[in-house]
Amino acid sequence: MQLHRSEKIKLLELVEEKNRRTLINPLKYAKRHDKQEEFYKAQQVIRALFWGNRVGKTEIGAQEVARYLLGEHEYKTIKTPVEVWSICPSFDSQKETTQPKLLRYLPEGSIASMTWIRKGILSELVLKNGSKVTFKSYEQGRAKFQGAGKRLIWFDEEPPHDIWEECFVRQEAGQRLDIVLTMTAIKGMTWVYDDIYLNTDTNLIYVSEAGWDDNPWLTEEQKDIMSRGLSPDSLKVRREGKFVRRVGLVCNWWDRSKHLKEYTNTPIDWTFYEVLDGGYSDPAAWLLLGVDNDDTVHVIDGFRTPLLTTEEIKTKRDTKIGGLHIRAGWGDTDNPRLIKELSALGMYLQPIQKIPGETKSWDETLANKLAEYGMIQKGTGEPRLYISTSLQTMNPRTGNNHNWMMQEIENLLWQERVADGIIETKPAWDDHRKFGHHFDGIRALSYFLVSYKKPNKSLETIVQVEPNLDPYSKLSSGYERL
C-alpha cells in the first residue's frame, strides 16, 4: 500500500515528535525485559547480575545510574543531589560501554559540566541538579578508591577483591549506599562466586541469573551466530551466564586426524599472510598462513628457533616464502624494536592490536578465536583451521623429530593464577617447564586469527615484492594494508 504525500509528511512529523520527546525524557521510553524489571524492583543493598552477553546487564546498569542521578525512580526514594561512582575494568572499556550508555539516558540539557581524562573519556559529569558521577577504572588500584561516601556504586564487570572492599566502606552517616554489580563470569569461580553468588543473605544481596533466552529482542539467528565457535564451557558462560571453571586443555577441540594436513602444492589462488611472535632468547616463532576461498586458515609453513638475529629471521622467512605474495603480516607489540629492524630489511609487520573486545579478557579472546576456527563445523564436518605436517624440529632429549606446533597445541593448559587475592584462570602461554620455552607458535597463530579480516576480493590488488618501498605506503613489499 502506497502512502499519499500528506500521509508521509504526517508520519515523518510523528517520528520527529517521538525523537524529540525521547531526547527530553529518554528514561520514559526505555524498554525493560522481565529480568531487568526484577532487578529494577529489588530493594537489597547489593544487587548482582550474573548475566550472559547481550542480555542487557550494562544497559540496565546505565539506566539505574541515570535514575539515581536524576532522582527519578519508581521503586526507590532518591533525594538529589547524589554522588555516584561508575567503575569498569579500564578507561578504554568505559569509552566503549558504560559511558555512551549512561549519556544516552540523561535528558538533553540536564548536564551542567563535563571533565575529561583525555579525548573521548570522561572523568566526571555534573548535572544541573547538583548530582555527580565519577568514572573510575580497576587499573587505578585500591588507593584511588578512597574518599567520601557515595549513594550508588556501579561495577560493570568483575572487580578486584581489594577494590570491592574499599568501595564497600564508602558509607556516609545518614545516607544509604547501594551497590550494583553487572558482570559475565568470564574468569570462572573467583571470590565473587564464594562471597556473593553463594551468599544466602537475601536481605542484603539480590542475585540474578539470566541468559540469551531471557532477552526477547535477541533473534534465533543472532543467538546462532554468537554461539558459533564457542566451546560448551564458553557457551555456559556467554549464553547462560553460568560460572564455569576453566580446566584442562585450551585447545580441547584438537584432533590429529582432522587438523593435520600435508601440503605439497599450495594453490596460487589462496591469500597469504605471515605472523611473528617471540624474539631472541625466547624462540622466534614465524608462521606462513594461507587462507582459501572458503575462508579456511592453513598454517602452511614456519619455524620456531631461538637465538636468531634480526637478519637471520628475515633470511629464514624469505627462504620459506619463495615467490608467494604476502598480503599482510603482524608482529607482537612487546618487541617494537624487532619490528622496526625487520621493517628496515623489507619485512613489514603491523603491530598486534591487543583489544579484548566483548570478553574484556585478551587471553580469553585468543582462546575463543582458536576454538572458533578449530572446532568442527556443523555444516561441513570439518574445521576451519589446518596445521602442516612439515612443522618439524628435533627433540634434543630424544633425538627424534616432532611437530612443534602440534606439541604446543596438545600441551597448552588453563592455569589458575592468584594476584591480589583474586583467582584468575588463563592460558599458560609462558609455562616453559615442559619444553624449556614459551608457547610462541600457538600464540602467534592466535594473534593472526584475531587480526585477520576477510579481504574484499573485488578491491584487492596484488603487487610484486619491492623491499625498497615505503612500508607505510598503501602497497609495499607485497602487502596491502588492511
What pLDDT, on the 0 to 100 scale, is given for residue 398?
A: 61
| Extents of the domains making up the chain | 31-237, 256-480
State phi, psi for 83 to the nearest 5 degrees: -115, 135
The C-alpha cell that represents 12 in the structure block: 515523518
Nearest alpha-carbon partner for 460 in 287, 318, 297, 273: 273
Q: For 182-193, what is the mean pLDDT? A: 87
Q: What is the mean pLDDT of the chain?
A: 85
Pairing between strand 479-480 and 475-476?
antiparallel
In the predicted model, is pLDDT for residue 466 greater than 50? no
In the predicted model, is pLDDT for residue 409 greater than 50? yes
Pairing between strand 284-291 and 297-305?
antiparallel
Assigned fold of 256-480: Nucleotidyltransferase; domain 5 (3.30.420)
> What's the chain look like in SS3?
CCCCHHHHHHHHHHHHHHHHHHHHCHHHHCCCCHHHHHHHHCCCCEEEEEECCCCCHHHHHHHHHHHHHHCCCCCCCCCCCCEEEEEECCHHHHHHCHHHHHHHCCCCCCEEEEEEEECCEEEEEEECCCCEEEEEEHHHCHHHHCCCCCCEEEEECCCCHHHHHHHHCCCECCECCEEEEEECCCCCCCHHHHHHHCCCCCCCEEEEEECHHHCCCCCHHHHHHHHCCCCHHHHHHHHHCCCCCCCCECCCCCCHHHHEECCCCCCCCCEEEEEEECCCCCCEEEEEEEECCCCCEEEEEEEEECCCCHHHHHHHHHHHHCCCCEEEEEECCCCHHHHHHHHHCCCCCEECCCCCHHHCCHHHHHHHHHHHHHCCCCCCCCCCEEEECCCEEECCCCCCEEEHHHHHHCCCEEEEEEECCEEEEEECCCCCCCCCCCCHHHHHHHHHHHHCCCCCCCCCCCCCCCCCCCCCCCEECCEECC
- 148-176 pLDDT, tens digit per residue, is 889 999 999 999 999 999 998 887 767 89
What pLDDT, on the 0 to 100 scale, is given for residue 359?
A: 54
CATH 3.40.50.300 fits 31-237, yes or no: yes
Pairing between strand 392-394 and 205-210?
unpaired
What pLDDT, on the 0 to 100 scale, is given for residue 22?
A: 58
Q: For 202-210, what is the mean pLDDT? A: 93
Answer for the pair 267, 292: CB distance below 8 angstroms, yes or no: yes
Model-wide pTM > 0.75? no
- 112-162 pLDDT, tens digit per residue, is 999 999 999 999 999 999 999 999 999 999 899 988 889 999 999 999 999
In the predicted model, is pLDDT for residue 346 greater than 90? yes
Q: What radius of gyration do the chain's Cα atoms show?
A: 26
Q: For 80-100, what is the mean pLDDT? A: 95
Q: For 33-37, what is the mean pLDDT? A: 96
State phi, psi for 210 to the nearest 5 degrees: -155, 150
Q: For 269-279, what is the mean pLDDT? A: 92
Q: For 459, what's the count of Cα atoms within 13 Å in the CB-facing half-sphere?
A: 8
Pairing between strand 297-305 and 385-388?
parallel
In the predicted model, is pLDDT for residue 10 greater than 60? no
